[in-house]
Amino acid sequence: MFLTRFTSIPILYHWHVLCGVISAFPKVPVTKVALFYPGQSSYQWLRSEAHKGANKETTRGDACTSCHDDETEEATQGAKILSGKHPLEPHADKLKGKSGHIDMTVQAAYDDKNAYLRFQYKTDNKSHPGNDYPAYRFDGKEWKSYGHMRLNKNVLAGKTPVIYENRLNIMLDDGKVPGFANQGCWLTCHDGERDMQKEPTREEVQANALMAAIKKNDVRKYLPATRTDSMDWKTGKPLDEIAKLKASGEFLDLMQWRAHRSDKVGGADDGFVLEYRNFDKGANHFASNMDSKTKQPKFMFDPAKFGGKAYAAGDVGGKKELILIKGVNAVPFDPNASWKEGDILPQYVLSGEDAKGSAADNKALSRWNNGVQTVVFVRPLNLTNDDDKTLKPGGVYNVGFAIHDDNMTGRGHHVSYNKTLGIGVKADIQAVKLN
Ligand code: HEC
């Protein structure tokens, strides 16, 4: 099955290794990593009085786990934040039943070409693999956005349904980002980002010098060193100073496996966090399916392959995979086909062939079975792109993991405290050499 699914991808790795790792990774040691639901625990909140008696230590750069060191810490913290009584989650009433924490296993291996990271965990939704995605719905006249994640304003207001893809993310530092070894992903999470406290309007973002210079309409993950005042997203440094940080390696690699937008074409996207959450150079495995000029989709389903040119609301969350892939089930959009109200087409179209350059470095494959998700990332060793961290045998890296589960994006994920990953050397997670 995997071979047929991946025949369109350049063969960069050993098939026998991949086919073996997805089902089992027999001799590779298993490390347990717990992730918890962090709510709005931003860089700023952690340095405020609200972080009871810990603001001074956190500002000084102490490791989170110097205090949060109990074996069941993640379980306790996640449950507290989702209890409905904690200020870090203002929408707890809308998240009833959500797991406060996730126990994940990690196995790591490498050969001459790649590192292989295999993850396994239980998803909250036991009846669906979480690979649906927000889409465009035809209302009789226009194609309008349809669906979003649980914490989206329109979802909370009951105006659009809950739909989002599952994701598994790795943030990785090679020791060059000050503070990451101690405080991990929380370095990148700030007030002002999407769905965080003090979220600015689109106009406020556009009026900001750095955001205008990088042409962005919202604030996303960033490193404190890219701001003159690390407590304030508005104080962006000039672009030449940010470029210097990048040249000296002061950025994080961010790899994301996406159940809808990358999985079916065997990819995981490759990005980096610096002044924003950026994608690497080149082209992703997914591209917008909206033609900005005609305001119509670019591709529709091939009825012969999909059983219709579009899907309907009732298909969401069902057995059918609602994923549009060039060369597999997509054909150019026909504006003269008889479109009717309620027809739905995907927001993105996938292509393994179109993915290019540094953005296409990572491969991934997965299996979801009765609520158990397995994902294997394949990351080439010795990459030399200026937007990548280079994995090498003998190297030790800091890694943080995030899981977006049960229709979440943005801050609605589970996150881990920092762990170390050693390629053939001792660390929290030690990658072993495959023969
Ligand atoms: C000096 C010790 C200390 C350090 C360092 C520290 N914390 Fe805390 N943290 C605490 C204490 C104490 C609480 C409050 C617990 C309570 O209210 O019962 C807390 C609360 C929290 C909470 C709210 C949920 C809860 O457990 O009450 C989160 C989330 C949190 N810390 C995350 C972090 C992160 C992330 C870091 C590192 C960036 C960090 N903490 C560093 C001591 C610390």
3-state secondary structure the chain: CHHHHHCCCCCCCCHHHHHHHHHCCCCCCCEEEEEECCCCCCHHHHCCCCCCCCHHHHHHCCCHHHCCCCCCHHHHHHHHHCCCCCCCCCCHHHHCCCCCEEEEEEEEEECCCEEEEEEEEECCCCCCCCCCCCEEEECCCCEEEECECCCCHHHHCCCCCECCCCEEEEEEECCCCCCHHHHHHHHCCCCCCCCCCCCCCHHHHHCCHHHHHCCCCCCCCCCHHHECCCCCCCCECCHHHHHHHHHCCCCEEEEEEECCCCHHHCECEEEEECCCEEECCCECCEEECEECCCCEECEEECHHHHCCCCECHHHCCCCCCCCCECCCCEEECCCCCCCCCCCEEECEEECCCCCEHHHHCCEEEEEEECCEEEEEEEEECCCCCCCCCCCCCCCEEEEEEEEECCCCCCCCCEECCCEEEEECCCCCEEEEECC
- Percentage above 70 pLDDT, the chain: 94
Looking at residue 23, its pLDDT comes to 62
Confidence of residue 25 (pLDDT cuts 50, 70, 90): confident
Confidence of residue 4 (pLDDT cuts 50, 70, 90): very low
- CB of 80 shorter than 6 A to ligand 1: yes
Looking at residue 222, its pLDDT comes to 98
- CB of 77 shorter than 6 A to ligand 1: yes
Q: Domain map of the chain by residue range?
A: 2-131+166-285+352-433
Q: What is the pLDDT of residues 255-313, one digit of tens each?
A: 999 999 999 999 999 999 999 999 999 999 999 999 999 999 999 999 999 999 999 99
pLDDT at 422 over 60: yes
Atom of ligand 1 nearest to the CA of 77: 26
Nearest CA to ligand 1 atom 37: 64
Confidence of residue 24 (pLDDT cuts 50, 70, 90): low
Nearest CA to ligand 1 atom 24: 77
- CB of 208 shorter than 6 A to ligand 1: no
- CB of 52 shorter than 6 A to ligand 1: yes
Confidence of residue 10 (pLDDT cuts 50, 70, 90): very low
Q: How far is the CA of 123 from the centre of ligand 1 (A)?
A: 26
Nearest CA to ligand 1 atom 18: 52
Looking at residue 137, its pLDDT comes to 98
Pick the CATH number of 2-131+166-285+352-433 from 3.40.605.10, 2.60.40.10, 2.60.40.1190, 3.30.1280.10: 2.60.40.1190
Atom of ligand 1 nearest to the CA of 76: 26
Nearest CA to ligand 1 atom 21: 51
Looking at residue 435, its pLDDT comes to 78
pLDDT at 6 over 50: no
Atom of ligand 1 nearest to the CA of 73: 26
For the entire predicted model, the pTM comes to 0.95
Q: What is the pLDDT of residues 321-339, one digit of tens each?
A: 999 999 999 999 999 999 9
Q: Which residue has the higher pLDDT, 14 or 9?
A: 14
Tokens of 291: 């033609």
- CB of 41 shorter than 6 A to ligand 1: yes
Q: How far is the CA of 73 from the centre of ligand 1 (A)?
A: 10
- CB of 60 shorter than 6 A to ligand 1: no
Atom of ligand 1 nearest to the CA of 54: 1
d(CA 235, CA 21): 45
Task: Give the mean pLDDT of the chain.
Answer: 94
Looking at residue 2, its pLDDT comes to 39
What residue type is 136 in one-letter code? Y
Q: What is the mean pLDDT of residues 183-203?
A: 97
Confidence of residue 27 (pLDDT cuts 50, 70, 90): confident
Atom of ligand 1 nearest to the CA of 88: 23
Q: Which residue has the higher pLDDT, 300 or 13?
A: 300
Tokens of 233: 């997203």
Atom of ligand 1 nearest to the CA of 38: 29
Nearest CA to ligand 1 atom 10: 54
Q: What is the pLDDT of residues 39-94, one digit of tens each?
A: 999 999 999 999 999 999 999 999 999 999 999 999 999 999 999 999 999 999 99
pLDDT at 11 over 70: no
Q: What is the pLDDT of residues 372-398, one digit of tens each?
A: 999 999 999 999 999 999 999 999 999
